Amino acid sequence: MLSRVADSLYWMSRYLERAEHTTRLLDVNLNLMLDESPISAERRWQRVLQALGKPKNVEWTGEPYALTQALTFDTENKASILSCIIAARENSRHVREQISTEQWHRLNSLYLQVTRPEIQTQSEALVQGMTQPSEFLQSVMEAVHQFQGVTDSTMNHGEGWQFIQVGRYIERACATALLLQAYHVDLWGHPERIVDGNEYLDWMGLLRSATAFEAYCKVYTADLTPDQIFEFLLLDEEFPHSVRFSIDSLQCALEKIQGDSGKARAETLRRLSGRLQSSLNYSSVDEILNQDVLGYLGGIQAQCRAIHETIYELYVDYSIQAALAG
Amino acid sequence: MHPTQSSQFEHASLKNYLLDHAYDEMFTGLGDLHRHCEPLLEHFSALPSEELQRRKQAADLSFLNQGITFTVYGREEGTEKIFPYDLIPRIITASEWATVEHGLTQRITALNLFLKDIYNEGRILDDGIVPREVVYSCKQYRRQMMGLQVPRNVYIAVCGTDLIRLENGEFVVLEDNLRVPSGVSYMLTNRRVMKRIFPQLFRSYNVRPIEQYTQLLLGTLRSLAPEGRPEPNIVLLSPGVFNSAYFEHAYLARQMGIELVEGRDLVTHDNVVYMRTTIGLRRVDVIYRRVDDDFIDPLAFRGDSILGVAGLFNAYRAGNVTLANAFGTGVADDKALYAYVPEIIKYYLSEDPVLKNVETYLLTKPKERQHVLQNLDKLVVKAVGESGGYGMLIGPQSTKAQQEEFARKIEADPRNYIAQPTISFSRAPCLIGDELQPRHVDLRPYVLYGDKVTIVPGGLTRVALNQGSLVVNSSQGGGSKDTWVLSQ
């Protein structure tokens, strides 16, 4: 496969995952802010920004809908949902002949839906408090899910598909780690704090931000405790948004890609991703919570970045001389 | 004249269908239906107007969702438009097609021999059939190609010739496109949409299939691979996603199952071309290039090109990679050289041309220039190197100021322009609003030349959708319609 194609598929997938994550985070928080909450509005939305990696030039100004507008419709903001969808579609356009027609249709329809002129009107109405974004956010999430379904059922599960998996899961692992980091102070920062009813909503919000509420309840029942939430989102083996699941899936896709192109070349990459996978597979939640949790979560993100860079050195940006020599 | 006066079809949708002196693809000069159009009109007349609109919307939506769009240059970014599509198919009878096919085969064979000749011995120049200055002053002439052997002596592997019909119904050649002709994907997708929207009508006609085009193209490219490369790696080189024909590049690559590459995907080393893949470098044998000569190799041609591959031309000279089409084919579709094509056909094949040319004035000849300058309001003037409907003057539809501007340009650089009479080329019925109206159409069949010449029956019929307009280019308000060549 062409290196450029791998690059585009990887980013198409990452951008869509990012769009979906941002969408859900906004939807959940817009919904939860309607209820009384132990945390202030400011804290809530600062936390959202933190969970999104503090996008450039987006500030909390005291107005939830203005912030929502910036994170949803503002194409000046490269992290907004619209920007992510446009970037994903642009990447897919570069590899139009590599993805299935069904995939292209689904993604192109989403693009046309979010870039039609009425959307700008809706964006202005949102700032003025004249409209609710929830329908829009729902439709974006649905479209992304459909795209993933169509991808899995119409595209060859060959190298290109594996690069799509790599993009999705590396993005997801980072996003979940970042989400846990953002919630850290509120959930685990004060272990002595006494729980009242309002906290329950906040914890549920965290789970729902990772589509994890129902899945969590199936494992631990509706009995929410911060430690179990942490364990579930970080270390659950079967939940698709947990960090461990994401890294397992990433590792699996990377092995398939290496299988196609020779394992010896990929030595460094195998070491990096294997080490991260083992640390998640063989750690217990108590060990992690007893150490520097923020440092641990930051470490996961740093390792993801290193994996990303190594993937690029190996498959995309390699030097010609080295390739001719080898 | 009003066709319904003598026609058996009294339908409201035809009330504004006025005939003039242009050949009409549906009605004879007397206002009778051409026989092969009867079922067509019957079918369309029977459909309620709402149903017709519904199907038209379904077709438009299908194009938009498939991303079958082109980019309009010279405007704001984000001008991705769908290529307007007309629902009424254009029908060509078997005998009409036989003539077209024969004529095109003859023409491409002769033009290919011409290119081989001028880049080698230059017999036709020695014999004075084509003046040397016409060839050597052509911007598309590539002296780098002198003496270079191309595989199978095929310079023009892919060509799309623009044909129009004169008032008597005869097909003539308006333009040869021998560089990187586009539009074939529209031909293919038009057919697909048409079959889905009018299945019964399509079945009732015996339409010859065109879907085999991509396979034929692949076969053509494979037959041109360098010697000793039995399993050639064939790629399609595109300028990238911002090119107006990018959809087509992606479409063709996908349909052929070959890689779509951009300049940045290719590298050359020791005169061998490689593409960057995830498993390292892979050798490339045949490049179906959709990048113009000028931009293809910054070392050999334009140094400021970022679309090309440095060193590609040397690899080509060394015979390690085939390019289709070859470099320098543009000299044979130069609009001034066009005037000599009938002579070229006679010279190499000792045959009379089957398809005639449109009468053309060469502005380098003082007498012809004089005549043209005096009649700018009646003639069409075209810049020789331009395409896509850019850089032309349509005399009868131009202002005095535009004519004066062109007069100045012609005086300054007569070699750069030619003039032709304004031809009222044929018109075909189109669905405008909810009625049928005639619009001017041309026809671009696609010719492939590998181990032999192959033409899929049909081509792209382009329509000048604006009333009275003679410009069919997509960049200038043109659309297209499906073209049905009947098998009997």
Q: Which residues of A177-194 are buried (b: 16+ CB within 10 A; e: fewer)?
A: bbbbbbbbebbbeeeeee
Per DSSP, the three-state class of B27 is strand
B222 pLDDT higher than 50: yes
pLDDT one-digit tens code per residue, B174-186: 999 999 898 999 9
ipTM above 0.95, yes or no: no
Q: Where are the beta strands (DSSP E) in B59-134?
A: 69-71, 80-82, 85-92
- Same domain, residue pair B248 and B316: yes
Report the share of chain B in percent with pLDDT over 90.
57
Mean pLDDT, chain B, integer = 88
- Same domain, residue pair B231 and B314: yes
Q: What per-residue confidence (pLDDT) applies to B475?
A: 64
Pick the residue of A4, A108, A310 with the most B CBs within 10 A to test the interface with B by mutation. A4
Return the structure tokens found at B303: 């140094």
Q: Kindly identify which residue of chain B lies nearest to residue A102, measuring between CA atoms.
A: B66
pLDDT one-digit tens code per residue, A54-68: 998 899 988 999 999
Residues of A in contact with B281 (CB under 8 A): 320, 323-324
- Same domain, residue pair B282 and B365: no
* Domain carrying residue B385: 360-421
φ/ψ of residue A205, rounded to 5: -60, -45
Return the structure tokens found at B279: 């498993």
Average pLDDT rounded to a whole number, residues B433-459 = 93
Return the structure tokens found at B119: 């880049």
A190 pLDDT higher than 80: no
φ/ψ of residue A169, rounded to 5: -80, -30
User: pLDDT higher for B210 or B17?
Assistant: B210
pLDDT one-digit tens code per residue, B395-444: 888 899 999 999 998 999 888 889 999 888 899 999 888 788 999 999 99
* Amino acid (one-letter) located at A176: T
Pick the residue of A12, A89, A95, A96 with the most B CBs within 10 A to test the interface with B by mutation. A96
In this structure, the number of other CB atoms found within 10 A of the CB of residue A320 comes to 14
- Same domain, residue pair B315 and B364: no
Q: How many helices (H) and strands (E) does chain B have?
A: 15, 24
Give the list of residues 6+ apart from residue B179 with CB closer than 8 angstroms, or none: B140, B292, B293, B325, B329, B330, B333
B283 touches chain A (CB under 8 A): no
Q: What per-residue confidence (pLDDT) applies to B467?
A: 80
B66 touches chain A (CB under 8 A): yes
Largest CA distance in chain B: 73
Q: Kindly identify which residue of chain B lies nearest to residue A104, measuring between CA atoms.
A: B66
A94 pLDDT higher than 90: no
Q: Of A151-155, B65-69, B283-287, B461-465, which gets the smallest average pLDDT?
A: B65-69
Residues of B in contact with A326 (CB under 8 A): 280
B275 touches chain A (CB under 8 A): yes
CA distance A29 to A26: 5
Write down the domain spans for chain A: 1-155, 159-326
Residues of B in contact with A156 (CB under 8 A): none
* Amino acid (one-letter) located at B330: G
Q: What is the CATH number of the domain that holds B405?
A: 3.30.1490.270
Which of B240, B250, B269 lies at the smallest CB-CB distance from A97? B250
Return the structure tokens found at A127: 């700032």
Angle between helices A197-209 and A3-32 (to 10 degrees): 160
Confidence of residue B77 (pLDDT cuts 50, 70, 90): very low
Residues of B in contact with A323 (CB under 8 A): 276, 280-281
> Does the distance separating the beta carbons of B275 and A2 come in below 8 Å?
yes
Choose among B55, B54, B51, B41: nearest CA to B11.
B41
> Does the distance separating the beta carbons of B281 and A324 come in below 8 Å?
yes
A238 pLDDT higher than 70: yes
Residues of B in contact with A90 (CB under 8 A): 241
- B447 CA to chain A: closest CA distance, Å? 24
Q: Which residues of chain B from 454 to 473 reach within 8 Å of chain A, CB to CB? A: none
CA distance B178 to B331: 9
Residues of chain A with a CB closer than 8 angstroms to some CB in chain B:
1-4, 6, 90, 93-94, 96-98, 101, 104-105, 108-109, 112, 159, 257, 260-262, 315-316, 318, 320, 323-324, 326
Judge contact between B232 and B286, C-beta under 8 A: yes
* Amino acid (one-letter) located at B28: T
Average pLDDT rounded to a whole number, residues A245-261 = 91
Number of domains in chain B: 2
CA distance B17 to B2: 7
Q: Is residue B459 part of a domain?
A: no
- Same domain, residue pair B316 and B388: no
CA distance A5 to A99: 10
Q: What is the pTM of this model?
A: 0.83
> Does the distance separating the beta carbons of B278 and A6 come in below 8 Å?
yes
Q: Is residue B237 part of a domain?
A: yes
Which of B251, B254, B281 lies at the smallest CB-CB distance from A323? B281
Rg (CA), chain B: 23
B452 touches chain A (CB under 8 A): no
Choose among B52, B39, B69: nearest CA to B13.
B52
Q: Of A19-23, A258-262, B141-145, B371-375, which gets the smallest average pLDDT?
A: A258-262
Q: Is residue B55 part of a domain?
A: no
Average pLDDT rounded to a whole number, residues B438-458 = 95
B46 touches chain A (CB under 8 A): no
> Does the distance separating the beta carbons of B276 and A94 come in below 8 Å?
no
Average pLDDT rounded to a whole number, residues A79-88 = 96
Q: What per-residue confidence (pLDDT) applies to A303?
A: 97
Q: Kindly identify which residue of chain A lies nearest to residue B65, measuring between CA atoms.
A: A105
CA distance A272 to A275: 5
Q: Which residues of chain B from 206 to 245 reach within 8 Å of chain A, CB to CB? A: 240-241
Q: Kindly identify which residue of chain A lies nearest to residue B80, measuring between CA atoms.
A: A112
Choose among A271, A307, A9: nearest CA to A174.
A307
Return the structure tokens found at B8: 């058996």
CB pairs under 8 A between A and B: 70
Judge contact between B324 and B157, C-beta under 8 A: yes
Q: What is the CATH number of the domain that holds B244?
A: 3.40.50.11290
In this structure, the number of other CB atoms found within 10 A of the CB of residue B57 comes to 10
pLDDT one-digit tens code per residue, A282-323: 999 999 989 899 999 999 999 999 999 999 999 998 888 878
pLDDT one-digit tens code per residue, B290-326: 999 888 888 888 877 778 899 999 999 999 999 999 9
B262 touches chain A (CB under 8 A): yes
pLDDT one-digit tens code per residue, B463-476: 988 887 777 776 66
Q: What per-residue confidence (pLDDT) applies to B164?
A: 95
A234 pLDDT higher than 60: yes
Q: Kindly identify which residue of chain A lies nearest to residue B272, measuring between CA atoms.
A: A324
Outline where B5-93 has alpha helix (H).
38-46, 49-65
- Same domain, residue pair B231 and B305: yes
B67 touches chain A (CB under 8 A): yes
Q: Kindly identify which residue of chain A lies nearest to residue B78, measuring between CA atoms.
A: A115
B74 pLDDT higher than 60: no
CA distance A191 to A212: 23
B307 touches chain A (CB under 8 A): no
Length of chain B, in residues? 488
pLDDT one-digit tens code per residue, A105-140: 999 999 999 998 888 888 888 888 788 889 999 999
CA distance B89 to B55: 14
Q: Is residue B262 part of a domain?
A: yes
- B192 CA to chain A: closest CA distance, Å? 14
Return the structure tokens found at A309: 């860079």
Q: Is A55 exposed, middle or buried (0-12, 13-18, 19+ CB in 10 A)?
A: middle
Region of residue B17 (left: phi > 0; alpha: psi -120 to 50; beta: else): beta
